[in-house]
C-alpha cells in the first residue's frame, strides 16, 4: 500500500501507521463510538495491522481516523471513521473522505461498502447509496461483541 500524506493548514491526513496513536484510537472506539463499545486494545491493534489506515492530525496530535479493509483489487469495507468532537464542523470529515476516495490503492474497486447509523449525508456526497439488492447480502453479526470481555 502506498503511503500518502496530505496537508491543509495545520491539519494532515497520513496513511503512515507509525504516526497513529493507537491508545487514542482505542479510547475513542471503546468509549466514544456507538459501534465498538468495549473493544479490546489488542483487537484495535490487529484491525489496524490488517487495514489501510488514515490518521487525521492537528500538527502532531491525532484527532481522527478511518480504515479501509481491502484486497486492493475488487473490494473494500470502510470502517471506524471518526473525527474528534471538538474538531467537527471544520470540514475535516469531508476532507478525510476525499482523501480516502482518492487514494491510489482504492481506485478501480468493484464494490466499496460501509455501515452507518447517522452519517448517510456525508457518505452520499461520495457516491455511497443504500443497498438496492440488500436481500442478496448475508452476514454473521455478533451483537455486543465486546461486552462480555470486560
Q: What is the pLDDT of residue 149?
A: 61
Name the strand (E) or helix (H) holding 56.
strand 52-58
Q: What is the pLDDT of residue 96?
A: 97
10-residue block means of pLDDT along the chain (150 residues)? 88 97 98 94 98 97 98 97 95 96 96 93 92 88 75
Q: What is the pLDDT of residue 72?
A: 93
* Separation of alpha carbons 4 and 149, rounded Å: 35
Looking at the domain 5-149, which fold is it? Aminopeptidase (3.40.630)
Q: What is the pLDDT of residue 106?
A: 96
Phi-psi region of 24 (alpha: psi -120 to 50; beta: other; left: phi over 0): alpha
Q: What is the pLDDT of residue 142?
A: 84
DSSP assigned state of 23: H
Amino acid at each position: 500500500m502506498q503511503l500518502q500524506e496530505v496537508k491543509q493548514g495545520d491539519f494532515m491526513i497520513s496513511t503512515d501507521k507509525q504516526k497513529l496513536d493507537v491508545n487514542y484510537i482505542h479510547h475513542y472506539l471503546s468509549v466514544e463510538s456507538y459501534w465498538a463499545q468495549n473493544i479490546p486494545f489488542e483487537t484495535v491493534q490487529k484491525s489496524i495491522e490488517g487495514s489501510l489506515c488514515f490518521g487525521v492530525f492537528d500538527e502532531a496530535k491525532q484527532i481522527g481516523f478511518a480504515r479501509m479493509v481491502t484486497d486492493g483489487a475488487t473490494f473494500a469495507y470502510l470502517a471506524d471513521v471518526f473525527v474528534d468532537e471538538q474538531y467537527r464542523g471544520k470540514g475535516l470529515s469531508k476532507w478525510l473522505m476525499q482523501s480516502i476516495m482518492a487514494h491510489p490503492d482504492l481506485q478501480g474497486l468493484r464494490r466499496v461498502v460501509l455501515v452507518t447509523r447517522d452519517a448517510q449525508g456525508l457518505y452520499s456526497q461520495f457516491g455511497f447509496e443504500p443497498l438496492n439488492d440488500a436481500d442478496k447480502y448475508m452476514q454473521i453479526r455478533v451483537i455486543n461483541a465486546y461486552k462480555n470481555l470486560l
